[in-house]
Chains A and B, each alone.
Chain A
Amino acid sequence: MVRKDLLVERRSKETLNALVFFSLLLLFVFQFTLGPDRERLAAALPGILWLGFVLAGLLGLGRTFVLERENDCWDALLLAPGDKSAIYVGKLAGNVLLMLVVETLLLVLFTFFFNVDLAGALPALALVVALGTLGLAAVGTLFAAMTAQVRARELLFPVLLLPVQVPVLLATVKATEAVLLGEPLSAVAHWLKLLAAADVVYVAAGVLTFDFLLES
């Protein structure tokens, strides 16, 4: 499943191209709204960064099952032999990879355009980003399947996803803030534990309930 989706994505580069372009536009918008004040920018940076990740994630994750729906392969998904949760894990892995690529590009663009030095904080930042992305993608993949066959899905998907993602957002923004200030990871241990717990809960919930979404 992962292999198939990644192959399709690599051949078409459809989602990736659009997402990177979208993130670039986000950078411009942030710059316009915040003005040239460096200090204010630096204070808002963790929030901006995650806002960019989440907005890109909303667009990217919402498209998880678009291919299946548009090409009438939904029934094939339902008929696929074996455990349905394997489909979930496959889609989740694909989404996590896609988001990590977009996030890496976005980070590079950030350092470039906003003239911030992330090098020192990079390992810690990578951990926070990885944990946050897994949490975001775990719920996002589940909800994408839920809204794929529903009216007004483009609207419903973010409406469902955003409130559920509040813990992940708070934890990642707070942890990113501390990491960028050069604090050690132990200072944000409680946030990292919360993120890890959220990841476990979301992935477990996804694996266990995905079956019910793909019935009939």
Chain B
Amino acid sequence: MTRALGWLAAIGLGAGLVMAFGVAPREATQGNVQRIMYLHVPSVWVAYVAFAVVFVASIVYLARRAERADHVAHASAELGVLFTGLTIATGSIWGKPTWGAWWTWDARLTSVSILFVMYLGYLLLRGMIDEGDRAARYAAVLGVVAALNIPLVHFSVYWWRTLHQPPSLMRPGGSSMPGVIVAALLVNFAAFSLLYLYFLAKRVRLLQLEAEAAA
């Protein structure tokens, strides 16, 4: 099952690369640099999904005390941090030639980096507690608070300043992108989602084995 998921993710990523570099046209104003979007946007999508999973799994853990829910929350937080990091890295690589700077204090850059730090703190907390049960409880509480905080961070930072490209895929009045680009993007969305599921399954299994070994 997990292995099949892994192969599907690999095929999806391959197809995504072909779509991004082969099929999708070269963007007129930004040139080839624009192709990094096919990695950047799916990464941030997976990151948000991962943090949503942390939220749900944390609530399930607090309500049911199922160890499995805690493993899912833990693994998903790690993946969320990983993909947030990928988002920031790819964004910087794109930003240097396009904006002329690796980093600006734009609204969305700032809110994503705050998420990154918030969930790094979550992982730090987990690492600092030795007793598994206590780590799970505390982390679950933090997972809930952090997730509730996301909309607040989003609004505050948005009002603070904004300079980012307005979203061009999902906005009222339909997409502004040609069909091929949307298709390439969707293939990468699917591939990254599969990759996330594969990593999640692997990591949850590993955490389970670790817990069994410790018990």
The interface of chain A, by Cβ under 8 A from chain B, is: 139, 142, 146-147, 149-152, 156, 159-160, 162-164, 166-167, 170-171, 174, 190-191, 194, 197-198, 201-202, 205, 209, 212-213, 215-216
Give the residues in chain A near B148, CB-CB below 8 Å.
Answer: 201, 205
Q: By the criterion CB–CB under 8 Å, are B124 and A146 in contact?
A: no
Q: By the criterion CB–CB under 8 Å, are A194 and B152 in contact?
A: yes
Tell me which of B114, B141, B155, B156 contacts A163 (CB under 8 A): B114
Q: Which residue of B lies closest to A135 (CB)?
A: B152
A142-B145, A163-B121, A209-B62 known; A170 and B137 CB under 8 Å?
Answer: no
A146-B138, A216-B133 known; A166 and B144 CB under 8 Å?
Answer: no
Q: By the criterion CB–CB under 8 Å, are B157 and A166 in contact?
A: yes
**Bound Cα distance from A56 to B140, whole angstroms:** 28
Task: Kindly provide the distance from the CB of B144 to the nearest chain A CB, expressed in whole angstroms.
Answer: 6
Q: By the criterion CB–CB under 8 Å, are A146 and B141 in contact?
A: yes
Instruction: Tally the A-B contacts, defined by beta carbons under 8 Å.
Output: 82
Q: Which residue of B lies closest to A166 (CB)?
A: B114
Q: By the criterion CB–CB under 8 Å, are A205 and B144 in contact?
A: yes
Tell me which of A162, A163, A190, A216 contacts B134 (CB under 8 A): A216
Q: Could you jot down 20 A-B contacts, CB within 8 Å? A: A142-B145, A146-B125, A149-B134, A159-B121, A160-B121, A163-B114, A163-B117, A163-B121, A164-B145, A166-B153, A167-B149, A170-B156, A174-B160, A201-B149, A201-B152, A202-B145, A205-B145, A209-B145, A212-B62, A215-B137
A164-B146, A167-B152, A213-B138 known; A150 and B117 CB under 8 Å?
Answer: no
Give the residues in chain B near A146, CB-CB below 8 Å.
Answer: 125, 138, 141-142
Task: Kindly provide the distance from the CB of B4 to the nearest chain A CB, expressed in whole angstroms.
Answer: 37
B99 CB-CB contact with A under 8 Å? no
B1 CB-CB contact with A under 8 Å? no
B177 CB-CB contact with A under 8 Å? no
B128 CB-CB contact with A under 8 Å? yes
Give the residues in chain B near A162, CB-CB below 8 Å.
Answer: 117
Task: Kindly provide the distance from the CB of B53 to the nearest chain A CB, expressed in whole angstroms.
Answer: 19
Q: By the criterion CB–CB under 8 Å, are B125 and A156 in contact?
A: yes
Task: Kindly provide the distance from the CB of A197 to the nearest chain B CB, expressed in whole angstroms.
Answer: 7
Task: Kindly provide the distance from the CB of B110 to the nearest chain A CB, expressed in whole angstroms.
Answer: 8
**Bound Cα distance from A194 to B153, whole angstroms:** 10
Give the residues in chain B near A216, CB-CB below 8 Å.
Answer: 133-134
Task: Kindly provide the distance from the CB of B55 to the nearest chain A CB, expressed in whole angstroms.
Answer: 12
Q: Chain B 74-108 against A: per-residue CB contact (8 Å), 1 yes, 0 no?
A: 00000000000000000000000000000000000
Give the residues in chain B near A215, CB-CB below 8 Å.
Answer: 137
Q: By the criterion CB–CB under 8 Å, are A164 and B128 in contact?
A: no
Q: Which residue of B lies closest to A197 (CB)?
A: B152
